[in-house]
Structure 1
Amino acid sequence: MKIVFLDRDTLSTETRLRPLTFAHEWVEYPCTRVDDVAARIKDADIVIVNKVKLSAQSLAGAPGLKLVAVAATGTDNIDLEACQQQGITVSNVQNYAVHTVPEHTFALIFALRRSICAYRDAVKAGRWQEAAQFCFFDHPIRDLAGSTLGIIGDGLLGQSVAAMGRALGMRVLFSAHKGRVGQGRLYTPFEELLQLSDILTLHCPLNASTRHMIGAAEFAYMRRKPLLINTGRGGLVDEAAVGPALQAGQISGAAFDVVSAEPPPVDHPFMALLNRPDFILTPHVAWASAEAVQALADQLIDNIEAFVSGQPVHQVMFKI
């Protein structure tokens, strides 16, 4: 059985992939360009992939492919319809980031809410000496206690973020994405959430109904000038609208760990915001604590072992 890992460098070198217990040939590549995918998977039985795109065309050239083992939770880089048509099982890694992503989310919230980066830069620039007293008040500082945390996405990550928010004395509201109705009394309507939130954080998948669910029209709804945090998926927000929203004061800050193009090209709208004290961009590392990445790697191997033993787990459900 031939196993091909297309993008091993998306896991850190410290992460251990334990040996599989069945006879196999293991081939791994640090990374794979789109043009090379078809040639590298053509005779594979199992493909391991994190972020490389698996198109219908490349999958069609791999007639023996039985399993796509995703080294992540998201599967928007894989043509699931083509996998269904070819009878290819897709498994993903689930619930491994229950601590790391919420912790990174709150690291970004704290950094913006208390202007940590702005004050650090001011100290580096000599502002403290210039102030000639024990402190200075150049940037806003706000408590989280008593503020309203709006969460879009009520999965395990959203619920974990909510628990942290409640522990800090925040009022927590949940909403489904734009256009969803009939979610019950425990949910706040999407437009109302935009109006009530002091901090808005995104923890939902990227699909046709969530792409660009926040853009210029939604920023105009945000009466409380909230912080916008996206550690979910690039593309949930119309990224070209973020700078104008900051400039207009519709939001008081924004922090992104994910971008629609990763890495972002030099002319991406976010690259022009990097010197702003109210904007933070981190390189898709919310998921990447040492503990979480090792848990991901362990579950990845578990998924492959389970499939080969005839008892597949963590299968991605195809839409009928």
Structure 2
Amino acid sequence: MKIVLLDGYELNKDLDWSVLQALGDVIFYDRTAVDDHAEILDKIKNADIVLTHKTPLDEAVLSKASQLKYIGIMGTGYDVVDIDSAHKKNIIVTNIPTYASDAVAQFTFSLLLEVTGQVGLHNQLVHKDKWSEGPDFTFWDKPLFELKGKTLGLIGYGHIAQKVAKIAHAFSMSVIFYNHRPKQVDNDWVKQVSLDELLKQSDVISLHVIQMPETINLINKTTIDQMKNSVIVLNTARGKLVNEIDMADALNNDQVYAFATDVVQKEPIISNNPLLKAKNCYITPHIAWAPLETRERLLDITVENLKSYLDDKPVNVVS
């Protein structure tokens, strides 16, 4: 059985892949050109099983992958695979729904605390002698904010958002959420509201929905116009949820106080991305999922998904 891993660079650095190698003949590729159909097809044309993290498998590729029986998406989002085309060819597709929930929730608050606490900035200034050369016992170069009493609005209320909600509650924030369908809540400190109400009420807005046609550019000029001018917007979901031109304009015009994101529309980021020159914009290179423990869990679940498929009992199937 031939197993092909298309883009293992980020994972290969420090993980033990022997558990996967025990299941078949594994070919590892550090990277595969995401826009080169010929390269992708050449690598998977004789594969029974393909594992992909960010390399897209669309209809043009899947239609020619005659031996392919199983695709394991090494992540939560499944927009990287044309699911309809896979199903037409009777290819099983699995993903890993909750492997990074704790890490991403933690990172979401890391972004928020950076915006409100300015730890990075003031650490740099201290190391540049601004404190030692100053006359006072303290100084600050940017506003600092308490989270207590502020309203956090969560767009989407899946596993990650629910963990973020619990952290926010521990910081004495009010928590509201919008979900495209009603969600049962088991406490009295979180409230479901309409999207319009969330946009109007929130001091902080955090995105936790998957990328699909109806969520692309969800945050745009129209939705930004409904927000408070003091709002902080966080994105640890998908870059295409935010219209980057509209967000940059809103930041530069003081219509949004700050935007902190771990994702952008085109990754790696392109040099002319408007967010790079926008005021109060914080960008990290898609690392919320990257703690060692999280990646180890990702590998473990990837292997368990594949084992279950080989036992004719597939789990985490994308339908």
In which range does the TM-score fall when normalised by the shorter chain?
over 0.9
Q: Which runs of 5+ in 1 are unaligned?
A: none
Question: SS of the residue aligned with 2:246?
Answer: helix
Q: Specify whether residues 268 and 227 from structure 1 end up closer, same or farther in structure 2 by C-alpha distance, changes over 3 A only.
A: same
Residue correspondence of structure 1 range 231-250 to structure 2 within 5 A: 231-250=236-255
Mapped to 2, the partners of 1:92 and 1:149 lie a distance apart of: 29
Question: SS of the residue aligned with 2:4?
Answer: strand
* TM-aligned CA deviation for residue 127 of structure 1: 3.2
Residue correspondence of structure 1 range 208-227 to structure 2 within 5 A: 208-223=213-228, 225-227=230-232
Contact 1:198 1:224 in 2 (8 A): no
* TM-aligned CA deviation for residue 184 of structure 1: 8.8
Amino acid at match of 2:199: L
Contact 1:211 1:235 in 2 (8 A): yes
Which sits farther off after the overlay, 129-138 or 51-60? 129-138
Amino acid at match of 1:291: E
* TM-aligned CA deviation for residue 84 of structure 1: 1.0
Question: SS of the residue aligned with 2:241?
Answer: coil
Contact 1:91 1:316 in 2 (8 A): yes
* TM-aligned CA deviation for residue 21 of structure 1: 8.0
Mapped to 2, the partners of 1:232 and 1:262 lie a distance apart of: 13
Amino acid at match of 2:318: V
Question: For residue 309 of structure 1, what is the aligned residue in structure 2?
Answer: 311
Contact 2:260 2:281 in 1 (8 A): yes
Contact 1:10 1:50 in 2 (8 A): no
Residue correspondence of structure 1 range 39-50 to structure 2 within 5 A: 39-50=42-53
Higher RCO (CA-CA < 8 Å; seq separation 6+): 1
* TM-aligned CA deviation for residue 297 of structure 1: 0.4
Mapped to 1, the partners of 2:276 and 2:174 lie a distance apart of: 33
Contact 1:231 1:257 in 2 (8 A): yes
Task: Using structure 1 for the length normalisation, give the TM-score.
Answer: 0.92
* TM-aligned CA deviation for residue 263 of structure 1: 0.3
Amino acid at match of 1:241: D
Cα RMSD (Å) of the superposition?
1.9
Question: For residue 287 of structure 1, what is the aligned residue in structure 2?
Answer: 289
Mapped to 1, the partners of 2:217 and 2:42 lie a distance apart of: 34
Task: Using structure 2 for the length normalisation, give the TM-score.
Answer: 0.92
* TM-aligned CA deviation for residue 183 of structure 1: 6.9
The count of aligned residue pairs is 311
Amino acid at match of 1:283: P
Mapped to 2, the partners of 1:21 and 1:30 lie a distance apart of: 16
Out of 270, 273, 278, the position equivalent to 2:275 is 270
Question: SS of the residue aligned with 1:128?
Answer: coil
Q: Specify whether residues 132 and 23 from structure 1 end up closer, same or farther in structure 2 by C-alpha distance, changes over 3 A only.
A: closer
Question: For residue 235 of structure 2, what is the aligned residue in structure 1?
Answer: 230
Dislocated runs of 4+, deviation >6 Å: 181-185
Amino acid at match of 1:95: T
Mapped to 2, the partners of 1:20 and 1:86 lie a distance apart of: 25
Amino acid at match of 1:146: G
Amino acid at match of 1:285: I
Question: For residue 71 of structure 2, what is the aligned residue in structure 1?
Answer: 68
Q: Specify whether residues 181 and 103 from structure 1 end up closer, same or farther in structure 2 by C-alpha distance, changes over 3 A only.
A: closer
* TM-aligned CA deviation for residue 4 of structure 1: 0.6
What CA deviation, in whole Å up to 9, does each residue of 1:135-182 have, x standing for no partner? 124311111111111101110000000011111111000012xxx477
Question: For residue 203 of structure 1, what is the aligned residue in structure 2?
Answer: 208
Contact 2:235 2:262 in 1 (8 A): yes
